[in-house]
Amino acid sequence: MGLLTGAIGALPWPRGRDENRDNARDGAVTVLVDPLRCQGIGMCAHLAPGVIALDEWGFPIVPRGAVTGRERVAAGRAANGCPRRALLLEGRSGG
Ligand code: SF4
């Protein structure tokens, strides 16, 4: 199963290589959730309020589009703080 954006259970959100390349260029990242790793612990929403929300079962709802600036920083905090390493920031340059 692929990584997801948006609510858990949504269909994978296909993106082209051009969009990924644009994200890397302007520092934007797309937040992806690995549904096989995520256990709905909810730490991510606490670490990135306003960027990641939780659905009624406690699973993350991430932005569908790329995030930049403060939202990117918050998303990075959430990815680093996820105990299951279930969040991936696509387009992140330099690790
Ligand atoms: S912190 Fe990680 S495991 Fe917990 S809900 Fe968020 S993505 Fe899922």
Q: Give per-residue pLDDT as tens, 38-58.
A: 999 899 999 999 999 999 999
- Give distance in angstroms: CA of 37 to centre of ligand 1: 8
Pocket flag, ligand 1, residue 77 (CB < 6 Å): no
Pocket flag, ligand 1, residue 51 (CB < 6 Å): no
pLDDT for res 27: 85
Ligand 1, atom 6, residue with closest C-alpha: 44
C-alpha 83, offset from chain centre: 14
The confidence band for 92, taking pLDDT boundaries of 50, 70 and 90, is low
What is the pTM (predicted TM-score) of this model? 0.74
Q: Give per-residue pLDDT as tens, 70-86.
A: 999 999 999 999 999 99
pLDDT for res 60: 97
What are the structural domains, with CATH classification, of the chain?
A: 17-90 (3.30.70.20)
3-state helix, strand, coil in the chain (%, to 5): 30, 15, 55
Pocket test of ligand 1: the residue of 39, 56, 62 to mutate, having most ligand atoms within 8 Å of its CB, is 39
Q: Give per-residue pLDDT as tens, 4-51.
A: 666 554 444 445 555 555 555 578 999 999 999 999 989 999 999 999
C-alpha 13, offset from chain centre: 12
- Give distance in angstroms: CA of 25 to centre of ligand 1: 27
Spatial contact of 30 and 5, defined as CB atoms under 8 Å apart: yes
